[in-house]
Chain A
Amino acid sequence: MWSGVFHMNKTMSLLKTQVLDLGTIDYAQAYPLQKSHVQQVLSQGIQTLLLCEHPPVITLGRLADEKNLLVSSHLIKERGVSLYPIDRGGDITLHAPGQLVVYPIFDLRHYGKDLHLFLHKLEQVIIDLLADFGIVAGRQSGRTGVWYQDQKIASLGIGVRQWVSYHGFAVNINTDLNLFSLIKPCGLDVSMTSMAKIKGRIYPMEEIKEKVIQQMTQHFNLQTQGS
């Protein structure tokens, strides 16, 4: 468990980062796009922040245990949900419309070359984002993710290649939480929640995206461009 503190040097120059809003995009299209942006960071040094929503999809991380898939793959297909084994940390997760997915394609050499510190900072972005909307969320010891009381509201999992990150985090904004009955999220016996469930209202995704860009800019010292 990471316990240190990385102090961002206030005089450190801002890191040029393009922000791309992909709208709703199939996981199968977004994944190679992430990989091409990793190459771009390595060749040109410009970081990318990808924001999107995915049509219903279950992804299995490298540590995934298929027992955490609670129904047959046939039934999953019948529900219109795709299934992808992928190269990120973590177990099993689900993406669906109404969930904001954020892929920071960042050069971790700027952020202390520390995998757990990076995850910790991403958790803080989510905690501060939720606080912007009056939701007090936090961490649970030994469990990566962001929690509202005993329910999980956001999941994280990253991949790193030559110290450039891909994958990232997903926050439930207006997600249909019934879909989570198909899996045991992250292999844990937890129930999932969303901003909409907590506050009893639907949030415009644009408003959330704007706030998440602000939080990422602040926490990661970004100079953003594009939209």
Chain B
Amino acid sequence: MTKITLPELGEGIDQATVACIHFRQGDTIEQEDDLLEVVTDKATFNVAAGTAGVVKEILVKEHQEVKIGETLALIEP
């Protein structure tokens, strides 16, 4: 199982808000696909799956604040 986490987005950015989730549990996802989009003050950032497989679990909801390094989803390769 591969954990998808919120990457470092820059100095002084500790968290971001989930704006859109593009996949649902059970969906097949490709490595290059954007799994979800987070937003900071003036920037949106697309979090890529980074690995191909099946989305086993999405651990966050839209509008939820997430911290850098927090697990967002689990993908089974």
Docked-complex contact A115 and B39, CB < 8 angstroms: no
Bound together, the chains give a CA A63 to CA B45 distance in angstroms of 13
| A160 contacts chain B at the CB level, 8 A cutoff | yes
Residues in A neighbouring B37, C-beta threshold 8 A: 62, 87
Docked-complex contact A159 and B44, CB < 8 angstroms: yes
Sort chain A's interface into a size bin: 20 to 34
Chain A residues 90-137 with CB under 8 Å of chain B are: 90, 112-119
Docked-complex contact A115 and B46, CB < 8 angstroms: no
Residues in B neighbouring A113, C-beta threshold 8 A: 8, 10
Docked-complex contact B43 and A159, CB < 8 angstroms: yes
Residues in B neighbouring A87, C-beta threshold 8 A: 19-20, 37, 44
Interface SS, A side: loop
| A16 contacts chain B at the CB level, 8 A cutoff | no
Count how many chain B residues have C-beta atoms less than 8 Å from C-beta atoms of the other chain: 20
Chain A proximity mask over B26-47: 1 for CB below 8 Å, otherwise 0:
0000001010010111111110
Given contacts A87-B37, A161-B34, contact A62 B44 (CB under 8 A): yes
Residues in B neighbouring A144, C-beta threshold 8 A: 41-42
Bound together, the chains give a CA A159 to CA B41 distance in angstroms of 11
Selected from A62, A116, A158, the residue in CB contact (under 8 A) with B12 is A116
Given contacts A89-B39, A161-B34, contact A4 B11 (CB under 8 A): yes
Docked-complex contact B41 and A162, CB < 8 angstroms: no
Q: How far is the CB of B35 from chain A (nearest CB, A)?
A: 12
Given contacts A62-B19, A62-B37, contact A90 B10 (CB under 8 A): no
Taking CB as reference atom, which chain B residue is nearest A166? B44
| A1 contacts chain B at the CB level, 8 A cutoff | yes
Residues in A neighbouring B8, C-beta threshold 8 A: 113
Of B19, B34, B45, chain A has the most CB atoms within 10 Å of the CB of: B45
Extra 13 A-B pairs, beta carbons < 8 Å, given A62-B39, A118-B10, A161-B34 = A2-B10, A2-B12, A61-B44, A62-B37, A87-B19, A89-B42, A90-B42, A114-B11, A117-B10, A119-B42, A119-B43, A161-B48, A162-B48
Minimum-distance CB pairs A-B, first 6: A114-B10, A89-B43, A89-B42, A144-B42, A115-B43, A161-B46
On A, residues with C-beta under 8 Å from B are: 1-4, 61-63, 87-90, 112-119, 144, 156-162
The contact sample of 15 A-B pairs, CB cut-off 8 A, is A2-B10, A3-B11, A62-B44, A87-B44, A113-B8, A114-B9, A115-B13, A116-B13, A116-B41, A119-B42, A144-B41, A144-B42, A158-B44, A161-B46, A162-B46
On B, residues with C-beta under 8 Å from A are: 8-13, 19-20, 32, 34, 37, 39-46, 48
